[in-house]
Structure 1
Amino acid sequence: MARSFRSIQATMTRLGRGIAVRTSSSRRARETARMNMRRGVPVAAQAALILTALAAGPVAAQEEHQIMADIRILQMQTQELHVLVSGLAQALADVTSQVDEQAAMNRKAFADSRLLVDTVADGIRILREKVDDTNVRISSFSQEVEALRLSIPRMPMPVMGDTVEDGGEGPVAIAPPIAQPANPGISPQRLYEMAWADYSTGQWSLAITGFDTYIKTFPRSDLADDAQFYIGETLYNDGRFADAVGAYDQAMGTYPTGDIVPEAQYKRGLALDRLGDTEEARQAFQTIVDEFPDSRMAALARQALDRLNRP
């Protein structure tokens, strides 16, 4: 394409030069005729000059033919350039179409990948939920097995008596049976839920029995301190405030690191206040403020102290 542009430029330059030469020659002939007329040159002389100029006509005609030839060449080169530009435009259109197709394919591939990722994520979530459910079932099954194991009574081991002098054996002493904690044969969670159900419905006696059975059967359970605390709560709700104070004391003494200690101390203070022991109640509330200043029970204890300190 650059070569075609250079060729067209050269042709146009030659054409411009030929036209300029012809125009210049005609202008000089006219100027010469006017000057001769001013000088008074005879007409015959002027005619001779004109004939001389006409003798140079073939040269001008040759130049005109050359100009026409250059024009034709210029037209051909212009057509070639037009064809070349059309080809480039078509090539550009083809490239643009290919780019659009590739972009569409990339968008589709991205959408498919996104869908696949979402599907895999959903599958993982469902699998995780199933694993969690399985773990819960395994834990419940383990508790059931442990409860059944503890419900099986142990056989006492006999103690052999001293050997008599004649080689015989003395009377066989039987060891006393080992005391076993009561075990209803159900899982810890189920036993705790049964006691909680009795507490929620106001069955105070049944609730105390249920929580007490839970503590004796599963003393190392994570809910043992809660069970002892709710024994105190049951007694408090039943109006047995003195017994409730003892239950709260037992909860804090048996499980000093349990998370129920601040609330047990607070409810102990309320029970003491109901018994009329204001000084002991004040000490209980102050203990919460001193030992658990950032707890929710500390805020309630401060309110209780403000109430007790009013005249």
Structure 2
Amino acid sequence: MRKLLVAAVALAASAGALAQSSTPAYQNNQSEARRQAAGNQGNAELFYMIERLQREVRDLRGEVEQQQHQLDQLTRQSRERYIDLDQRLLELSEQRQQTRASSGNRSGDTAAPGSQERQTPQTVSKEYREPSEEERQAYDRIQKLIQEQKAYDQAIGELYDFVSEYPEGDLTVNAYYWLGEVYLVKPQLEQAKQAFTIVATRYQDHRKAPDALYKLGVVHDRMGEKEQAERYMKRVVDQYGASQAASLAKKYLGAS
């Protein structure tokens, strides 16, 4: 009897222990499953947020690139309008000088013999501002863009910046001339004509003037305007007969 009682107590104790040990294990598994599910949901939400942020960044980058492209276009148009206006003012000045010359010829019939001979335009020699070291370095950088890297579009932008930042200097005239050269290479002939016209008209006493006048003849030749081209070549010979540009102009006239 006693043995039976002890066995019953032991069986009850074992059942209680089993009950105590099995219940927490089930609960622990369920809690672990919940934690994993919560973790998976959190990871999914984080992944979705990252994807959305990446899309937004791509969209913003596209908008920035589009706006930058529009800004570049507006900048180029503004620069081209600037140089076009400069050329129009020069052409207007030329027309006024021609009108005055014609009026002078009509009123000078009683002038002394020989006074009706062809006269070359009279220019007043002036001193050009010497470039600073910073200005010279900027000009040298542009020359590398043109001569070595052939980065013509970038060079055009920097040439416009140069003539704006360093006006009326010796290298400013060079910058206008090289602006014409780069446009001639691209080729954008109308813009090249405008740049060379500025040098040949506004800076007639500068060392680049003969070359610019000759290049105006080249531009008109490439545009199919042979008479205009010959007219500019003759002007080079008449006005700058001792220059290298005059030698080139003579060769052109001799071959035409």
Query: TM-score scaled to structure 1, two decimals?
Result: 0.38
Q: Which has the larger radius of gyration?
A: 1
Query: TM-score scaled to structure 2, two decimals?
Result: 0.46
